[in-house]
Amino acid sequence: MSLDFNTLAQQFTQFYYNQFDTDRSQLGNLYRDESMLTFETSQLQGAKNIVEKLVSLPFQKVGHRITTLDAQPASPNGDVLVMITGDLLIDEEQNPQRFSQVFHLMPDGSSYYVFNDIFRLNYSA
Amino acid sequence: MNGANNVNSINMLAQQQQLQSRVKIGVRNWQNATVQDLMNFLSRTTRISVVDAVVEGPLVVGYVASRADAESLLKWNGIRFAGNNLKFEILSGTGNDAPGTNSTITLLKNFLYKRYNAQTKMLDLGNLHADPDLVQKGLFSSMSTQSKMFPALMKLTSKEPQLVVESVNLSDNNLKDISGITTLAQTFPHLKNLCLANNQISRFRTIEVWKNKFKELRELLMVNNPITSDKLYRSEMMRLFPKLVILDNVMVRDEQKLTSIYSIPMKIQPFFFENNEIGPSSTDFVTNFLNFWDTDRMQLLGLYTPQSQFSISVDSSIPPSSVAESDQNPSFGYYLPYSRNISKVSSEKSIEQRLSLGPEAMSNLFGSIPKTKHHLQDMPDEYSMQTVTYPQINGFVVTLHGFYEEVGKPDADANNKTSAGRSRRFNHGHNSTNNRLFKKSFDRTWVIVPAGGGVVIASEMLTVRPFAANAWVQQSPAIQKVLEPQPQPQPPLAPQIDPMNPSFNASPPPQPQMGVGGLPVSMGVSPQQQPPMPPVSTPVPLAPTLQLPLEVQARLNPIQLELLNKLHLETKLNAEYTFILAEQSGWNYEVATKGFQNSVNNIPREAFIP
């Protein structure tokens, strides 16, 4: 548990959002077949479907800015629960959208993958 | 509400009387039949009732109500039963038992059985020093103190599997603390009722060793102990015994609600229709949880194990003023000292300390943040819930977004810090807006896992945000019209909640043109799959059994309609369920088919076309 889950959560989210913001079609490596994305009210399972969904989102430019980040070890098996709130900057919009996201990260060898990803927009500006 | 308990107490007293006067007897030569046959025979023939019968070596040993009964039974010596002549003997109360060290164990064992009532599963160890047997046998003089006596009894008890004990009476034993009886917790970890009345117990500290030991203790009786006059008595006892319902004949917890929150069903299936099971149950869980959180959140402590974690983060970023009803002047004074936001808090020590571990730390934290009122039941539209399974530990993860009202200062603030609070007020005058009570938006995540017949919360995270009207509220939930009239098992909340989908708003795939200040990031169906075409009547010929409401049909593109049609024909699901299947699979045929196959056995009959 002391491969500090806090650091892991920070590094993971940084990597994830960087990748999302530069080229979200490459996020597939972070998901597996059993992964589930709950995006607003739709649920998608499997890396392929999840990435298709993310790529299909209707914006060109996107930027994530984290406001809060909290993490807890979710079980003795080493998986970690990460909860984030932040701003979503889309295309040329002046005001950011606010989102909440929960990642359930599972250890897989020396790395981690996203087992569950629950995304919700809080409000739009 | 005490009536029933008083009756119970009277019954208990009566049983106690009976137990004290009853006499142990033994029967030989019974082996050709069962113990039950023997008991029936004796009751029929001798009209003397023998209770708590067990086999001990060649004997069947049991109890009769009195000395007189025992002696009448002896007159039946030699009676024929199952081809043999029965022989009766009196085993206790005669004073004839052989003295000596070896017999002490036998004596104590006999004593235990004498004090045990199998019907009520009660072990009565009250008033030990006045027990005629123990006094007569010199047990109190030879073992000198109860502090030896009691562990010895416990040790013997744990070797007697016939002793199924739910209640223990230890009243009238001159106990000054529980040091002599701590082993009770090891011997009876599942004890439900405990009586310690009429003793001299005066300090909480001595009882602390039982903390988290009696996890099922329901009733505790401690009247006539000095400790009961302490003003923290009730709250301390509730803290030590998380499932305590009745303390000194007074109801201290709402048992029904407690039961409902501890026993949500935990049937988990993979994908899709899993929501059919966990949707309503997680809704129940969250509803009950928040009711307690709003009214008496300390009652929830029993849901947390010593390993459970809880943390709060404060998202203090003020919403743009264009956001409807948003709080432009939020105050987080009560929360900030506990905010664990690791993207802002840099001190490793704070990060560590602000992760509350175990019920005690949580109780401190729960008491330090404002009292609240959620509106899950009366304003379900303002909430959004997602539930996903966590098969690795057979649990699930529930995420809830919504708002609450702050309706009162924290308990800790009101109790201990009155002087500090006053000086703060005097020093800073009108600056009290720091702790203004208002509405807050929040995100909250629970990891719920099954444990010992109920559930516990393994992890919980709460993010508190300035209040803002929620983004999803404006969307018109057209699909609900499809779902509502269905004779589904009614969820406990408002009808807006779709039992098939734990998300409170089974909102439709929104139209892609929502752009004007709306949501460019739309959900459900992506624009690629749903080109912005005028919703004209469909060219796709639908099966006659696929009866989609027109407004739903109008929103779907031909590809989606074709997919629905195909799924409908293959699965024989009705329109509603076909739609849910399609939507939950992200309008992906393969995912939908797989999901259907995986859960076909769990799909309710009414989901199929007749």
Q: How far apart are the first and last CA of chain B?
A: 50
Range of lowest pLDDT (B198-212, B310-324, B464-478): B464-478
Residue B429 vs residue B391, higher pLDDT: B391
Longest distance between any two alpha carbons in chain A, whole Å: 44
- Please report which helix (H) or strand (E) contains residue A68, including its range: strand A62-73
Of the candidates A86, A99, A36, the one whose C-alpha atom is nearest the C-alpha of residue B519 is: A99
- Looking at the complex, does the CB of residue B458 fall below 8 Å from at least one CB of chain A? yes
Q: Does residue B443 contact residue B399 with C-beta atoms inside 8 Å?
A: yes
- Among B461, B507, B518, select the one facing A41 at the smallest CB separation: B507
Residue B137 vs residue A116, higher pLDDT: A116
Q: What band does A23 get if pLDDT is binned at 50, 70 and 90?
A: very high
Q: What band does B97 get if pLDDT is binned at 50, 70 and 90?
A: very low
Check pLDDT > 70 for residue B140. no
* Cα gap B82→B76, rounded to integer Å: 15
Q: What band does B180 get if pLDDT is binned at 50, 70 and 90?
A: confident
Check pLDDT > 50 for residue B65. yes
Mean pLDDT of chain B: 74
pLDDT of residue B158: 80
Q: How far is A95 from chain B (nearest CA, A)?
A: 7
Task: Indicate yes or no: CB of B459 within 8 angstroms of CB of A72.
Answer: yes
Q: What is the CATH number of domain A5-121?
A: 3.10.450.50
Which of 533-592 (B) contact A at CB < 8 A?
Answer: 583-586, 588, 591
Mean pLDDT in residue range A13-34:
93
Task: Indicate yes or no: CB of B441 within 8 angstroms of CB of A72.
Answer: no
When scoring A39, A51, A68, A120 by the number of chain B Cβ atoms within 10 A, the one with the most, hence best to mutate, is A68
Check pLDDT > 90 for residue A13. yes
Which residues on A lie below 8 Å from B401 (Cβ)?
100, 120, 122
- Per-residue pLDDT tens over the stretch B452-474: 667 889 999 999 999 988 655 44
Task: Indicate yes or no: CB of B313 within 8 angstroms of CB of A85.
Answer: yes
Chain A residue with minimum CA distance to B321: A125
Check pLDDT > 90 for residue A19. yes
Q: How far is B275 from chain A (nearest CA, A)?
A: 11
Q: How does DSSP assign B553-580, residue by residue?
A: HHHS-HHHHHHHHHHHHHH-B-HHHHHH
pLDDT of residue A113: 93
Domain layout of chain B by residue ranges: 18-90, 104-262, 271-412+436-466, 550-607
- Among A10, A40, A74, select the one facing B523 at the smallest CB separation: A40
Task: Indicate yes or no: CB of A42 within 8 angstroms of CB of B522.
Answer: no
* Cα gap A20→A30, rounded to integer Å: 11
Which residues on B lie below 8 Å from A71 (Cβ)?
342
Residue B71 vs residue A71, higher pLDDT: A71
Mean pLDDT in residue range B489-505:
34
pLDDT of residue B479: 28
Check pLDDT > 80 for residue B101. no
Which residues on A lie below 8 Å from B468 (Cβ)?
98, 122-123
pLDDT of residue B459: 93
Please state, for a pLDDT cut of 70, what percent of chain A lies above it.
Answer: 96
Which residues on B lie below 8 Å from A53 (Cβ)?
526, 586
Q: How far is B574 from chain A (nearest CA, A)?
A: 20
pLDDT of residue A22: 94
Q: What is the pTM (predicted TM-score) of this model?
A: 0.52
- Looking at the complex, does the CB of residue B309 fall below 8 Å from at least one CB of chain A? yes
Which residues on B lie below 8 Å from A9 (Cβ)?
342
Task: Indicate yes or no: CB of B521 within 8 angstroms of CB of A88.
Answer: yes
Mean pLDDT in residue range B379-396:
82
Please state, for a pLDDT cut of 70, what percent of chain B lies above it.
Answer: 72
Q: What band does B262 get if pLDDT is binned at 50, 70 and 90?
A: low
- Per-residue pLDDT tens over the stretch B530-556: 333 333 444 567 788 888 777 777 777
Q: How does DSSP assign B419-453, residue by residue?
A: HHHHHHHHHHGGGGGGG---EEEEEEEEEEEEETT
ipTM (interface predicted TM): 0.92
Check pLDDT > 90 for residue B147. no
pLDDT of residue B422: 42
pLDDT of residue B599: 74
When scoring A70, A84, A119 by the number of chain B Cβ atoms within 10 A, the one with the most, hence best to mutate, is A70
Which of 355-384 (B) contact A at CB < 8 A?
Answer: 355, 384
Task: Indicate yes or no: CB of A122 within 8 angstroms of CB of B595.
Answer: no
Check pLDDT > 70 for residue B509. no
CATH topology of domain B550-607: Helicase, Ruva Protein; domain 3 (1.10.8)
Mean pLDDT of chain A: 89
Q: What band does B104 get if pLDDT is binned at 50, 70 and 90?
A: confident
Task: Indicate yes or no: CB of B342 within 8 angstroms of CB of A10.
Answer: yes
Chain A residue with minimum CA distance to B352: A6
* Cα gap A97→A93, rounded to integer Å: 9
Domains B18-90 and B271-412+436-466 share a fold: no
Mean pLDDT in residue range B556-574:
84
Residue contacts between A and B (CB atoms, under 8 Å): 188
Check pLDDT > 70 for residue B27. yes
What distances in angstroms separate CA B123 from CA B51, B105, B307, B383, one per listed residue?
15, 17, 33, 50
* Cα gap B456→B359, rounded to integer Å: 11
- Among B319, B351, B586, select the one facing A53 at the smallest CB separation: B586
Q: Does residue B123 contact residue B116 with C-beta atoms inside 8 Å?
A: yes
- Per-residue pLDDT tens over the stretch B570-587: 888 888 788 877 877 777
When scoring B335, B397, B483 by the number of chain A Cβ atoms within 10 A, the one with the most, hence best to mutate, is B397
Q: How far is B388 from chain A (nearest CA, A)?
A: 8
- Looking at the complex, does the CB of residue B251 fall below 8 Å from at least one CB of chain A? no
- Per-residue pLDDT tens over the stretch B225-260: 999 998 889 888 988 888 888 898 888 877 766 666
Task: Indicate yes or no: CB of B313 within 8 angstroms of CB of A68.
Answer: yes
Q: What is the CATH number of domain B104-262?
A: 3.80.10.10
Q: How far is B518 from chain A (nearest CA, A)?
A: 7
Q: What is the CATH number of domain B271-412+436-466?
A: 3.10.450.50
B547 Cβ neighbours under 8 A, 6+ residues apart: B574, B575
Beta bridge mates, B300: none
- Looking at the complex, does the CB of residue B445 fall below 8 Å from at least one CB of chain A? yes
Mean pLDDT in residue range B217-224:
90
Check pLDDT > 50 for residue B483. no
CATH topology of domain B18-90: Alpha-Beta Plaits (3.30.70)
Task: Indicate yes or no: CB of B447 within 8 angstroms of CB of A90.
Answer: no
Which residues on B lie below 8 Å from A88 (Cβ)?
521
Q: What band does B608 get if pLDDT is binned at 50, 70 and 90?
A: confident
Mean pLDDT in residue range B425-449:
71
Q: How far is A103 from chain B (nearest CA, A)?
A: 11
Which residues on B lie below 8 Å from A39 (Cβ)?
523
pLDDT of residue B280: 59
Range of lowest pLDDT (B102-116, B301-315, B335-349): B102-116
Q: How far is B580 from chain A (nearest CA, A)?
A: 10
Q: Does residue A122 contact residue A100 with C-beta atoms inside 8 Å?
A: yes
Check pLDDT > 50 for residue B489. no
Task: Indicate yes or no: CB of A81 within 8 angstroms of CB of B399.
Answer: no
Which of 175-194 (B) contact A at CB < 8 A?
Answer: none
Task: Indicate yes or no: CB of A10 within 8 angstroms of CB of B343.
Answer: yes
